[in-house]
């Protein structure tokens, strides 16, 4: 809902600005144009935001989202462009306010230009959204704005989530089936990650790495809440996995936090990477879930950054020797109440 409301706010503001410009140019009044544009902007934004935020999370919507890039892009562009053009040609703002006789219609040539403008705007917005889905919306924004053009120190939390049993599944069903299996798991995990403000850093085989800045992670112990939300989503879908693959996904995870160096790398393909001992420790901690026979391990350092951990059961496991590290790491096994 928060994302939907941001869409709505942006759409109405852009509509008001566009309407005011047209009003000044062809109607002699920016105020009436702004009022018309506000209504038209809301009428355009509500259905498009509903589709992007809600519809494409449904089963049918996912089918469109998982289509080849050009198919998804083309379908959305055609639908959104036609809708925006229709609103521009038959302005609901004019009809609602009853100002047609007062303001007069926009010239035909300008109306045709508005249709071309509608498709151009739909193309630009969709291109940003679709590329954002490929590169990651935050990652794309950081690269465009140059946030990490120069390396910078940060304090970050890293959640490593591993899908247990995928190797045995590959031996039984084959690589193609495992690819579909992991794709379904990661798809179900994406909504909880978005809900708790996480950023998917990378997928590595049957593992995904989610990150937050410490400030983002602190409130309500978001990384911990995120992991259990992912587990709950997968548990809800367990019957479907059982029917299709004969097994439901099982998770192992680890959380660690601390200082890293964040920055862009690459030339023909740019990416934002994080370097530091925190990453290595989080990975080693995830491997330790097998040896310690616990589903979810969290370091003492990560616990110290978070607020709201009292809602969870923290089982102290004491200082642990992690593979490849000389320094012991104090570890907690975390479960829900």
Using alpha carbons, select from 21, 2, 175 the residue that is nearest to residue 88: 21
Distance between CA atoms of 225 and 237, rounded to whole angstroms? 19
pLDDT at residue 97 tops 80: no
Look up residue 310 and give its two tokens. Answer: 């009292």
> In this structure, are 196 and 323 located in the same domain?
yes
Average pLDDT over residues 322-332: 86
Among 100, 135, 170, where does a domain finish? 135
> In this structure, are 151 and 127 located in the same domain?
no
Quote the domain boundaries for residue 196: 139-336
> In this structure, are 125 and 197 located in the same domain?
no
Residue 262 belongs to a domain with what CATH number? 3.30.70.1230
34-43 burial string, b = 16+ CB within 10 Å, else e?
bbbbbbbbbb
pLDDT at residue 101 tops 60: no
Q: What are phi and psi of 262, to 5 degrees?
A: -110, 135
> In this structure, are 131 and 147 located in the same domain?
no
> In this structure, are 129 and 149 located in the same domain?
no
Using alpha carbons, select from 166, 243, 267 the residue that is nearest to residue 208: 166
pLDDT at residue 46 tops 80: yes
pLDDT at residue 44 tops 70: yes
Q: Tell me the sheet residues that pair with 152.
A: 262
C-beta contacts of 94-101 below 8 A and 24+ residues apart: 94/36, 96/39, 97/32, 97/35, 97/36, 97/39, 99/32, 99/36
> In this structure, are 81 and 189 located in the same domain?
no
pLDDT at residue 245 tops 60: yes
User: Domains in the chain: how many in total?
Assistant: 2
> In this structure, are 180 and 298 located in the same domain?
yes
Average pLDDT, the chain: 85
> In this structure, are 193 and 283 located in the same domain?
yes
> In this structure, are 100 and 159 located in the same domain?
no
**Predicted pLDDT of residue 136:** 67
Average pLDDT over residues 280-298: 93
Top-ranked range on mean pLDDT: pick from 5-19, 217-231, 235-249: 217-231
Q: Residue 224 — pLDDT band, cuts 50, 70, 90?
A: very high
Asked whether 223 and 309 are in contact (CB, 8 A), the reply is no
> In this structure, are 230 and 277 located in the same domain?
yes
> In this structure, are 178 and 277 located in the same domain?
yes
> In this structure, are 50 and 185 located in the same domain?
no
Among 88, 119, 135, where does a domain finish? 135
Distance between CA atoms of 12 and 17, rounded to whole angstroms? 9
Among 82, 106, 135, where does a domain finish? 135
């Amino acid at each position: 809902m928060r994302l939907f409301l941001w869409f709505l706010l942006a759409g109405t503001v852009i509509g008001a600005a566009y309407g005011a410009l047209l009003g000044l140019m062809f109607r002699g009044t920016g105020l009436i144009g702004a009022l018309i544009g506000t209504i038209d902007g809301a009428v355009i934004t509500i259905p498009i935001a509903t589709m992007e935020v809600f519809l494409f999370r449904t089963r049918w919507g996912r089918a469109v989202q998982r289509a080849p890039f050009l198919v998804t892009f083309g379908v959305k562009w055609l639908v959104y462009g036609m809708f925006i053009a229709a609103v521009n040609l038959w302005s609901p703002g004019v009809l609602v306010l009853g100002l047609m006789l007062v303001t007069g219609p926009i010239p035909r040539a300008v109306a045709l230009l508005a249709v071309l403008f509608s498709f151009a705007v739909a193309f630009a917005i969709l291109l940003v959204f679709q590329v954002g889905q490929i590169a990651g919306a935050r990652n794309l924004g950081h690269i465009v704005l140059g946030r990490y053009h120069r390396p910078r120190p940060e304090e970050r939390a890293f959640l490593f989530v591993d899908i247990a049993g995928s190797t045995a599944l590959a031996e039984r069903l084959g690589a193609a089936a495992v690819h579909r299996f992991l794709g379904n798991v990661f798809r179900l995990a994406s909504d909880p990650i978005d809900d708790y403000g996480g950023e998917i850093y990378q997928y590595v085989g049957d593992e995904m790495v989610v990150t937050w800045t410490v400030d983002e992670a602190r409130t309500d112990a978001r990384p911990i809440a995120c992991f259990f939300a992912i587990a709950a989503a997968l548990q809800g879908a367990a019957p479907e996995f059982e029917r299709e693959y004969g097994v439901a996904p099982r998770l192992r995870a680890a959380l660690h936090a601390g200082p890293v160096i964040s920055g862009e790398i690459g030339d023909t393909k740019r990416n934002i990477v994080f370097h530091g001992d925190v990453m290595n420790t989080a990975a080693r901690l995830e491997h330790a879930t097998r040896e310690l026979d616990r589903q979810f391990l969290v370091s003492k350092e990560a616990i110290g950054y978070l607020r709201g951990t009292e809602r969870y059961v923290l089982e102290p496991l004491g200082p642990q020797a992690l593979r490849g590290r000389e320094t012991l790491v104090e570890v907690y096994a975390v479960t829900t109440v």
